[in-house]
A and B are shown apart, each in its own frame.
Chain A
Amino acid sequence: MAIDSDRCTGCQACVAACHAENNLPLSDAESAARGRAVHWIRVDRYYEGEFPDIRVKYMPVLCQHCDEAPCEPVCPVYATYKNPEGLNVQVYNRCVGTRYCANNCPYSVRFFNWFDPVWPSPLDLQHNPDVSIRMAGVMEKCTFCIQRINRAEREAKEEKRPLADGEVQPACVQSCPAEAMVFGDLNDPESKVSRLAESGRSTRLLEELGTQPKVFYLQRAT
């Protein structure tokens, strides 16, 4: 995935889309203040300059699907692991809730189900049937909308054709009005996301930790 920070307006459409797509539990103001809110993607704000000459930079942060993910080796029950396509996936059924992965994630993009999730009516009627509801006591995080990837791969296979570049769009990418986010196959050097990752504006978050994240942030070199 590539995210153009210079294009991001911080509108939070990605956050809302992710909530709807992935059946994220909702939280009220009180539990959010207690640090219990779940947002698989969040928009971090960085301020540059002194008031009134201030410039805000937005940075949507989601699971970076690291090649060398710090969360993976510490899980005692293999609830989080690297799947064959290179995605860092979370197996809810295996998770016992040690929360070690979340402590070891430098990006703080892992979330815990402190209670069984509840949705105020009628939101409980709009669940996405392709995404499971998580019970109390398990970890969860961004999946790059693996249900959409699987569906597109299945359809392409049925039609006996390769998956086209840009055919799969996670909810956040699809909903971004500024078209700041691009999703694609990094293993294909011709894909749009691979070309963006190669560009001179490309950086990665906390790259110095050697996690080899798969989200590339594009920003003007200053």
Chain B
Amino acid sequence: MAIASKVMPYDEVRRDLWRPLSGASSRYIVVLVLLSAVALWGLVAWGYQLYRGIGVAGIRRPVFWGFYLVNFVFWIGISHAGTLISAILRLTDAGWRKPVTRAAEAITVFALMIGGMFPIIHLGRAWLFFWLFPYPNSRLLWPNFRSPLLWDVTAISTYLTGSIIYLFLPLIPDVAQLSTHAAGWRRLLYRTLSLGWTGSDREWHALERAMKLMAGIILAVAVSVHTVVAWDFSMSVAPMWHSSIFGPYFVVGAIFSGIAALLVVMSIIRKTMHLEKYLTPHHFNNLAKLLLLMSLLWLYFTVAENLTAWYGNEPKEMSVFGARVRGNFAPYFWIMVFCNFAVPFVLLGIRRLRSILTATIASVTVLIGMWLERFLIIIPTLSFGRLPAAWGHYAPTWVEISISVATFAVMGVLYLVFSKLFPIVSVWEFEPHSEAEE
């Protein structure tokens, strides 16, 4: 935050933000070990699935896509935290973004790594996933570029590459500073990553231009990625999937859940890493307002999607719609509406109630609600296909649940390790010198 740099000397900022890098409290170790154990358990479950066949999951005819694809859409959605917040704020030169961007960009990269795994976990023959890569096989047959799944592969790998670059660029001046102060393997790591950064004017200008350029590119890629994910569903002929609203609906949902994820992560690192001076109520207030806006947008899209289906009264769509709002999926549907709309609307809409605590609570419910939304989009449509003779119900098994839970642990592990290696708040942006540069 701009105010902090004026009030606090740069040396103090640097000391504060570098402190979490050295040493590890016993609490940190315990949490890291616990999360790693959960993550390992997920790996065991996946190994079992690879060994026995994907039949150990609960997916069945006609619900051929289950928890794995729900998680895929959910995590790709979470990945919109970083790009959107940091790219938009960087492009509009919003000063308050500074302590937030690094934390957000890291979420993007990790959520994408996790989300990108799910289509592979979900494959019947996961070991052949590379057959989807765009190069011809030994009989010169290329993959099918008409398939939305191939668009997915293309979009997600582009997005992952882009967001790693986008996370890395603003990291360069930080690791360069760190390399002069660190010793041992850390020094080697930071020196390698700093790419020989000396801090000359030319380098600053190049970095500034590269970051602006990447912010623009990443924004376009982010929107297209979630649109393509939506098209996996809307390109089909299945009732309630074949909908033109899905592209923007998914993008809005993704940004919505991304902001929620960012708020949750911010309030955790604020407490555990003692960043109260940097992540101030001002940041939470701004992001909470953004979350509220996205909540309203989400409601608008949900109403538009369901009202038109209901009013159109087409029998096939109505069997899915009915199951969703008053059939066996109704509890999940109304919990979703409560979590995604009622909670943020009350807690964040009433100014007196808006605080760091309520913003965190609302973010947690939004994450639950958005996971349910992905579930409600995928499962009911498949359960109630066009021919009633082939209807069927899906329930996940321990394998799917283990892998799903484990991904949250993986997120935690990656974040814990990242925050030990790199300052989670961008340090150089507090430097008065670079302030003047901008």
The residues of A with any CB-CB pair to B shorter than 8 Å are 34-37, 42, 44-45, 61, 70, 73-78, 94-100, 102-104, 106-108, 111-116, 135-139, 206, 209
Contact = CB atoms under 8 A, between A and B. Distances in A.
B124 interface: yes
Interface string B109-133: 0000000000100111100110110
13 contacts: A44-B389, A45-B389, A73-B146, A74-B146, A74-B235, A96-B124, A98-B119, A98-B122, A99-B59, A104-B237, A136-B53, A137-B53, A139-B124
Nearest to B232: A100
A186 to B, nearest CB: 23
B246 to A, nearest CB: 15
A138 B63 contact: no
A79 B146 CA distance: 13
Contact of B387 (A70, A75, A108, A114): A108
Nearest to B237: A70
A96 B153 CA distance: 14
Contact of A42 (B143, B147, B389): B389
Interface in B354-387: 382, 385-387
A74 B147 contact: yes
B148 A95 contact: no
Given A70-B236, A76-B149, A103-B382, A35 B61 contact: yes
B128 A104 contact: no
A11 to B, nearest CB: 17
Contacts of B131: 76-77, 94, 96
Contact of A96 (B59, B61, B125): B125
A136 B56 CA distance: 12
A77 B62 contact: no
B142 to A, nearest CB: 9
B394 to A, nearest CB: 8
Given A73-B144, A116-B53, A103 B61 contact: no
B387 A107 contact: yes
Contacts of A107: 386-387, 390
A74 B146 CA distance: 7
B64 A112 contact: yes
Given A97-B125, A137-B54, A138-B124, A78 B382 contact: no
A99 B150 CA distance: 14
Contact of A76 (B53, B147, B238, B390): B147
Interface of B: 52-55, 58-65, 119, 122-125, 128-129, 131-132, 141, 143-144, 146-150, 153, 232, 235-238, 382, 385-387, 389-390, 392
Contacts of B390: 107-108
A171 B131 CA distance: 34
Contact of B132 (A76, A112, A115, A206): A76
Contacts of A74: 146-149, 235-236
B123 A106 contact: no
Contacts of B238: 103-104, 106
Contacts of B144: 73, 75-78
Contact of B129 (A95, A96, A104): A96
A40 B103 CA distance: 52
Contact of A73 (B60, B147, B153, B382): B147
B60 A35 contact: yes
B356 to A, nearest CB: 43
Contacts of A36: 55, 60-61
A214 B232 CA distance: 27
Contacts of A97: 54, 123-125
B232 to A, nearest CB: 8
Nearest to B152: A76
A76 B390 CA distance: 25
A106 B387 contact: yes
A35 B237 contact: no
A98 B389 contact: no
Contact of B62 (A75, A108, A114): A108
Given A103-B236, A106-B386, 17 more contacts: A42-B389, A61-B387, A73-B144, A76-B131, A76-B143, A76-B149, A78-B144, A100-B236, A106-B387, A107-B387, A115-B55, A116-B53, A136-B124, A137-B123, A137-B124, A138-B124, A209-B237
Contacts of A108: 61-62, 385-387, 389-390
A14 B61 CA distance: 21
A81 B144 CA distance: 10
A35 B57 CA distance: 12
Contact of A35 (B132, B232, B392): B392
A19 B373 CA distance: 40
A78 B63 contact: no
B54 A114 contact: yes
Q: Which of B63, B147, B148, B150: most chain A CB closer than 10 A?
A: B147
